Copies of this chain bind each other. A is one copy, B any other.
Amino acid sequence: MSTPDPTGLAPGATLGILGGGQLARMLALAAADLGVRTHIFAPEPDCPAFDVAARHTIGEYDDEAALARFADAVDVVTYEFENVPSATAAFLAARTPLHPGARALAVTQDRLSEKRFVADLGLAVAPFRPVDSLPDLEAAVAAIGRPSILKTRRFGYDGKGQVRLAAGDDLGEAHQAIGRFPAILEGFVPFSREISVVAARGADGAFAAFDVCENEHRDHILAFTRVPARLAPAAAAAASEAARRIGEALAYVGVFTVEMFVVGADESVIVNEIAPRVHNSGHWTSEGADTSQFHQHVRAVCGFPLGATKRRGEIEMENLIGDAASRWRDLLAEPGAHLHLYGKRDARPGRKMGHVTRVLPGRR
């Protein structure tokens, strides 16, 4: 089992994961299927992933002594969130393989560099302008118009660090609302659908995308994913090809997700965001695809062959947010529903507690 392999690790290896939330938890469960041990590194004392990992280290991401011990104890490091500090990534990468690599983090951590990167690939993005000051914002609004959205360049998620600008809104207030951080103004995209492509790229350059997902958000949080997306085949192919080019340009290793908007009668695809990680919109793959996104990510970062991404039916994934998980008994009693709970103790409003996947055999 521990036979060394020139192209990667072997089962028996230890995968280090930065972050201890539900994504790390589901990665650890998948790793176990493949005989890969996991070691979680996270600052919080009580993480969902700790319960299913062989080891965990509680430490801050700038605790170099703890990071060094962690790096020594694992064979490869990955992460469940894109806001890994660049100094942490560099520190670890100097000691052990880090997948996805520092470039993927650098590009995707900053909305401005991300937008420029995507635009430079010739892929469509919303109009955007950097905003470092109120005068910048005024100039950006003059150029892009309204409605538009002011977003911090860093550390935004689930709608945090964003403010929408409608006609008549006070720009100074908006700038204040996002804390005057370095920001970006993006033109509002009048989309007909939100979609995402969850895909993997291997160290050998192999690329494998899951079928395009159609996503519905409520209060800026993913509520529902339907697969396949209701989309013409050409638009789905364009979305998948955009993801392939992004992965290629980043020399990416692992699973990543590209969120996109579909616009107009011709179903143009506009790239919105890249997540350098497994993604909530890919949770359906655990039951709905031949290989789950979690298994796929473990395969990729360990240098194992990528798995088949074939879909098993028509799929719906519903997030269980806050109190919604109190329906667990009904969901367990529903034939064909697959319940996943994350082991979180407190069901706070807006907190992702679990999800349920339904695979309808009718349509492939």
Interface positions, chain A 1-46, Cβ under 8 Å from B, are: 1-3, 5, 10-12, 25, 28-29, 32-35, 37-38
Q: Is A329 an interface residue (CB 8 A)?
A: yes
* Among candidates B33, B50, B335, B336, residue contacting A54 with C-beta atoms closer than 8 Å: B50
Q: Which residues of B contact A328 (CB under 8 A)?
A: 1, 10-11, 35
Contacts of A86 in B (CB 8 A): none
CB neighbours (8 Å) of A342 from chain B are 35
- A66 close to chain B: CB less than 8 A: no
A202 CB, nearest partner CB in chain B, Å: 11
The answer to whether B51 and A345 have CB atoms under 8 Å apart is no
A333 within 8 A of B: yes
Cβ-defined contact, B329 with A5, below 8 A? yes
Chain A: interface size category: 35 or more
* Residue numbers in B under 8 Å from A354 (CB-CB): 35
Contact B34 A341 (CB under 8 A): yes
Asked whether B290 lies within 8 Å of A305 as measured between CB atoms, the reply is: no
Residues of B within 8 A of A146 (CB): none
- Bound Cα distance A101, B10 (Å): 40
Whether A1 contacts B34 by the Cβ 8 Å rule is no
One complex includes copies of this chain to the number of 2
Contact call A343/B12, Cβ cutoff below 8 A: yes
Given A29-B33, A339-B33, A340-B33, is A345 in contact with B307 using a C-beta cutoff of 8 Å?
no
Q: Which of A230-270 contact B (CB under 8 A)?
A: none
Q: Which residues of B contact A53 (CB under 8 A)?
A: 51-52
Chain B CB within 10 A, most for which of A326, A329, A354? A329
For A1, A12, A54, A341, the residue with the greatest tally of chain B CB atoms inside 10 Å of its CB is A1
Q: Which residues of A27-80 have CB atoms within 8 Å of chain B's CB atoms?
A: 28-29, 32-35, 37-38, 50-54
Q: Which residues of B contact A38 (CB under 8 A)?
A: 51
In this assembly, does A166 line the interface, its C-beta being within 8 Å of a C-beta of chain B?
no
- In the complex, the answer to whether B341 meets A35 with C-beta atoms within 8 Å is yes
Q: Are B345 and A332 in contact (CB under 8 A)?
A: no
Q: A11: which B residues are within 8 A, CB to CB?
A: 325, 328, 341, 343
Instruction: Verify B344–A332 contact, CB threshold 8 A.
Output: no
| Chain B neighbourhood of A299, CB < 8 A | 332
Which chain B positions have C-beta within 8 A of A305? 329, 332-333
Give me the interface of A with B, judged by CB distance under 8 Å. Answer: 1-3, 5, 10-12, 25, 28-29, 32-35, 37-38, 50-54, 290, 299, 304-305, 307-308, 310, 312, 325-326, 328-329, 332-333, 335-336, 339-345, 347, 353-354
- Other than A11-B341, A29-B29, A33-B339, give 10 A-B pairs with Cβ distance below 8 A: A1-B326, A1-B353, A2-B345, A28-B52, A33-B341, A34-B332, A34-B339, A51-B53, A305-B333, A308-B336
A–B complex contacts, Cβ < 8 Å, 12 sampled? A1-B325, A1-B341, A3-B326, A5-B329, A11-B328, A33-B339, A34-B332, A35-B341, A37-B343, A304-B329, A307-B332, A310-B336
Pairs of residues from A and B, 3 with the lowest C-beta to C-beta distance, nearest first: A35-B341, A51-B54, A305-B333
